[in-house]
Structure 1
Amino acid sequence: MSESTSLSLAAKAAALDAADELAPLRDRFTLDDTVYLDGNSLGALPRGVPARVEDVVRREWGELRIRSWTESGWWTAPERIGDRIAPLVGAAPGQIVVGDSTSVNVFKALVGAVRMAQEPLPAPGVRDEILVDATTFPTDGYIAESAARMTGCALRPVAPADVPRAVGPRTAAVLLNHVDYRTGRMHDLPALTAAVHAAGAYTVWDLCHSAGALPVGLDAHGVDLAVGCTYKFLNGGPGSPAYLYVRRDLQSRFDSPLPGWNSHTEPFGMRPDYEAAPGAVRGRVGTPDILSMLALEAALDVWDDVTIDAVRAKSLALTDFFLECVAAYVPEGRVEPVTPAAHAERGSQVALRCPDAGEVMARLIGKGVIGDYRAPDTLRFGFTPLYVGYAETERAARALADEV
């Protein structure tokens, strides 16, 4: 890399940072001078969370104790926090419930989708197939295989692009990732949802790598069910609870395979027979994980007065700039971008194929540039527009060039 090129890109970064309307949001997080490009695995800590967690522990639990279920709003937290997530994924209130893990919610959503597809009971051979994203995060595949066994369905892995040709009259449900966790490729949610619906099947979308990074439009595109984690771009903290979206007109038909007491229409009636509560509440199972749930609620405060469209615009600008810097700094042929160049196909990360990716990432982390590695040969850099700037993006590309 020439000194003039480095100076030019550094100057460009400074100009972009000066014009960035989201730059002040960085002060809402606890950060240091490292370049943190791993928010697609674990988001940074919002500054307001520690004080809120201390209050929950010392006052709500320590002093109010059992009274906090009502006086502090613990009991209604899953729906209340779901309504705060809703605008970030394009959903109206009353359709998202927070709780459990992503894996558990995938299971609930997928089995629930198959049950809806199979009612009333079909003739033999009808709606007995589940399609699953062949490139999915492994746990989604494991859950889909178990759901298929439970519902008597065949499981067929397909590439997302092949779904319109693969879906058919025997398909009950299709489980897809909005953004591929390895490559950062964003799949066409509106078109794929429409194709699944045209075949009479139901969609289940995994939003783990898109919620909080780009517009999703669940309501606008008629998505049936969706799940997602909250510890990546939503910055909810390690192991923070996931969420389940059930479209409003499907809620009365949603038959969860995990009918816990929290989703009962009379949870304190202690009746031996199960009767599902109305609305999104029927997505609940057991007692909410209050400490992590209320930490998540506090973390969502960073989204006050922030639009997802502004976040998406900066995400694309950041990833464009990173790719520009990598092309300028890194020796030709040393790394290969696998994230699509087209904005319509790109999430909020850049993945680079590199033969010694694990060793390179270890050295980068030692130099204060935090990304991650996915076997066998992929470097991943996640760009969280709420706190990542352009100067540190340029710094990361320079460090990468030094290490390869």
Structure 2
Amino acid sequence: MMNEYSRAACEQLDLEDSLSEFRDEFAIPEGMIYLDGNSLGVRPKAALARAVEVVEEEWGVGLIKSWNQADWFSLPQRLGNKLAKLIGADDDEVVVTDSTGLNLYKVLAAALTQRTERKVIVMNGSNFPTDNYMAQGLLAQLGDGYEIRFAEHDDMEAAITEDVAAVCLTHVHYKTGRIFDMAAITAKTHEVGALSIWDLCHSAGALDVDLNGCNVDFAVGCTYKYLNGGPGSPGFIFTAKCHQGKALQPLTGWWGHADPFAFERDYRPAPGINQMLSGTQPILSLAVAEVGLDIFLRADVAAVRAKSKKLTELFIRLMTQRCSQYGFTLVSPEDAECRGSQVSFSHTHGYPVMQALISRDVVGDFRAPDNVRFGFTPLYTSYVDVWDAVDRLVDIMEKELWRDSEFNQRGAVT
């Protein structure tokens, strides 16, 4: 990337950065270096005006008329078609709705209805827990011999055998940032007659994802990380067109009905992607999430990925150069091609170290038992941010500031 690591060299990289113009579109607090966009993205400045517009005008004045006049009713599909462009999907294959966990429940159940003779789901054991929990809850309801076969990265393809109904994996590991090979694993999944499900929470808005190019069956993800949709903003569901109308999800609410305003007694599933909807949608959250999507749609996804790799590489090199004596061990892959837009290090005192760093206005997060995790959002993270973050960490470690009692008190959210 560069031979000499210096703040001046980072400043030069920022001058050459084709994405630098996007930084001014985000409300980053003065003096803060925000390296937690892999957990919650920064607010787009335009989101505030959009929220006020929805509350004051569309809700306050339009009231119920806004379902038609402001086109509230089509928000899940409209946002879904926008998001589809970022993940290699076609129009009418994605809806933005509900939470990632609920959406995973839907698509996992839909997949199992197409492979009723098989009882095994393959998952990553060290996955973000909610995926595993939702699958466990579904299988507890189904009973009848269903099981989850947990495997880790290097053993994944060997776990995919001809008794498997579905392979349900997170594309980028939430702790390590390691990327699963979507194309290869999906091909192996189909080879044994199973269906593929991918969680894109740490991919959408950070990587160039190609769901249809990889022949993926189903996918889910969120909009509040790299897509900057706001805290708790809705997730999304992808269902390949070849499965629409065949794979039926079990949360059969009225928005997934073929004709919601016919108010029929019995459920008839919508024929396309709309069948993945359930109940009335959170209009405020959807409207604000659209702002982040619109910003990202103006960016070049290839440029985003290229900058992501440069930012994470710079961070790893600076940590190696300046912090190796302080007990940090790299957890993320060294190879940028195998790494998402985040870097994790383990440290025996990871929690207080991160709290001390946050007190110095460098915001990352901690994942038990010992991971300090840093996310790099190419639309607003600069190369100078990376330099300054490491510089402040060096000062904390040299002075052992993390030993202060205030940094060793665990909060509810880490």
Q: TM-score, normalised by structure 1?
A: 0.95
Q: CA deviation at 1:216?
A: 1.2
Q: CA deviation at 1:163?
A: 2.6
* One of 6, 10, 17 as aligned partner of 1:9: 6
Q: 1:47 aligns with which of 45, 55, 73?
A: 45
Asked if structure 1 preserves the Cα contact closer than 8 Å seen for 2:177 and 2:344, the reply is yes
Q: Which residue pairs with 1:321 in the alignment?
A: 314
Query: How much is the aligned-residue C-alpha RMSD, in angstroms?
Result: 1.5
Partner in structure 1 of residue 27 of structure 2: 30
1:377 aligns with 2:375: no
Query: How far off is 1:332 after superposition?
Result: 2.9
* Distance in 2 separating the partners of 1:58 and 1:287: 21
The residue matched to 1:244 in structure 2 has which SS?
strand
Deviates more, 1:302-311 or 1:107-116: 302-311
Show the counterpart of 2:124: 133
Bigger CA drift: 233-242 or 143-152?
143-152
Once residues 8 and 387 of structure 1 are traced to their aligned partners in structure 2, the CA distance between those partners, rounded to angstroms, is 21
Kept after mapping to 2: 8 A contact 1:160/1:176: no
Of residues 257-266 and 7-16 in structure 1, the stretch that sits farther from structure 2 once superposed is 7-16
For 2:88, the equivalent position in structure 1 comes to 90
Separation (CA, whole Å) in 2 of partners of 1:388 and 1:294: 25
- Equivalence map 1:307-318=2 (5 Å): 307-318=300-311
Structure 1 partner of 2:63: 65
- Tell me if the contact between 2:312 and 2:342 (Cα under 8 Å) persists in the aligned partners: yes
Asked whether the 8 Å contact 1:134–1:160 carries over to 2, the reply is no
Distance, in Å, in 1 between the alignment partners of 2:45 and 2:243 is 38
Kindly provide the CA deviation profile for residues 191-215 of structure 1, in whole angstroms up to 9, marking residues without a partner as x: 1111111110011111101110001
Q: Per-residue displacement from partner, 1:315-343 (whole Å, max 9, x unpaired)?
A: 00000111111111114362011110112
Kindly indicate whether the alpha-carbon contact (under 8 Å) linking 2:313 and 2:336 is maintained by their aligned counterparts in 1: no
Deviations 1:205-228 (A, max 9, x none): 111011100011001000100000
Residues 205 and 296, structure 2, Cα contact 8 Å, conserved in 1? no
What residue number does 2:406 align with? Answer: none
Which amino acid counterpart does residue 32 of structure 2 have in structure 1?
T
Question: What is the DSSP-based 3-state SS (H/G/I as helix, E as strand, rest coil) of the residue aligned with 2:196?
Answer: strand
Aligned residues: 393
Q: Does 1:105 align with 2:103?
A: yes
Structure 2 alignment gaps of length 5 or more: 398-414
**Is the 1:178–1:186 contact (alpha carbons within 8 Å) kept by the matching residues of 2?**
yes
Deviation at 1:301, TM superposition (A): 2.1
> How far did residue 75 of structure 1 move?
0.4
Segments of 4+ in structure 1 off by > 3 A?
Answer: none
Secondary structure in 2 aligned to 1:274? coil
| Cα deviation code 1:250-298 (max 9, x no counterpart) | 1121211101100000101111111111111000000011010111012
Cα distance in structure 1, aligned partners of 2:381 and 2:356: 21
Equivalent position of 1:78 in the other structure: 76
For 1:349 and 1:224, locate their aligned partners in 2 and report how far apart those are by CA, in whole Å: 26
Structure 1 range deviating more: 9-18 or 295-304:
295-304
For 1:59, give the aligned amino acid: E
- Indicate whether 1:273 and 2:273 are aligned: no
Structure 1 position 86, deviation (Å): 0.7
C-alpha separation in 2, matches of 1:112 and 1:216: 23
1:8 deviation in Å? 4.9
Identify which range, 299-308 or 17-26, moves more after superposition: 299-308
Higher mean displacement: 129-138 or 227-236: 129-138
> 1:337 is matched with which residue?
330
Q: Specify which of 245, 249, 258 is matched with residue 242 of structure 2.
A: 249
Specify the code of the residue in structure 1 equivalent to 2:41. Answer: G
**Alpha-carbon separation, structure 2, partners of 1:211 and 1:251:** 22
The question of whether the paired residues in 1 share the 8 Å contact of 2:86 and 2:297 is answered with no
Cα distance in 2 for residues equivalent to 1:21 and 1:333: 35
Given that 1:373 and 1:380 are in contact with CA atoms closer than 8 Å, whether structure 2 keeps it comes out as yes
Q: 2: CA distance between counterparts of 1:59 and 1:367?
A: 40
Out of 278, 285, 295, the residue aligned to residue 288 of structure 2 is 295
1:135 partner SS: coil
Most deviating of 56-65 and 328-337: 328-337
